[in-house]
Amino acid sequence: MSFTLWFTGIPASGKTTLSQGVYSHLKSRGLKVELLDGDLIRTAFNQDLGFSQRDRDTQVRRLGIISQLLNKNEVIAIVGAISPYAAARTKNRQIIGRYLEVFCDCPLEAAKTRDPKGLYAKALAGEISNFTGISDPYEPPESPEIIVQTSLESIEDSMAKILTYLEKCGYIS
């Protein structure tokens, strides 16, 4: 049974780490699964997009279409993408159907201290415009299926929370 597991949160909130971990775990169980990392997809296929709300929504919609196609072919799609706007995520939920949202809840201050790519520093210095959480909004999900508090939980605890949810709700055995 296929589904889409969509990781959302501000930059440096843990989306990539957790989505890669869940992907590896499901793959090790012999499940058909693909990982769609928002940054990699943007670099490979969406160079035509900037960071306006319209372009961000287009990126999210494209990821949703790919996820739907994977699901249609019995492949679990795991998506890690900021997806800052609630309306775009809601539209994907409607289109995809078996859509589960994982909110990587991380305070801005904690994300700034992680900043693995140095993007917050550049955004705060005015070198990056439309940066989510600084000069562009992030709309947290109102009712995600799973919330991981990545500044308070270990990676292992967050992973366990996600996998336990998938097992209890019958998405994986």
Stretch 114-131: mean pLDDT: 86
Say what percent of the chain tops pLDDT 90. 73
Tell me: pLDDT of 55 over 90.
no
**Which one of 13, 67, 83, 158 is the catalytic residue?**
83
Tell me the pTM.
Answer: 0.93
Q: Is 67 a catalytic residue?
A: no
Between 53-72 and 38-45, two packed helices, what is the crossing angle to 10 degrees? 100
pLDDT at residue 47, as a whole number: 65
Tell me: pLDDT of 49 over 70.
no
Tell me: pLDDT of 51 over 80.
no
The yes or no reply on domain 4-168 and CATH 3.30.420.40 is: no
Q: Are 92 and 5 within 8 A, CB to CB?
A: no
Stretch 62-71: mean pLDDT: 96
Tens of pLDDT, residues 155-167: 999 999 999 999 9
Buried b (16+ CB within 10 A) or exposed e, 84-94: bbeebbeebbe
Averaged pLDDT of the chain:
92
Stretch 45-64: mean pLDDT: 80
Distance CA 132, CA 8 (A): 12
Angstrom CA distances, 37 to 44, 45, 47, 60, 118, stand at 11, 12, 14, 11, 19
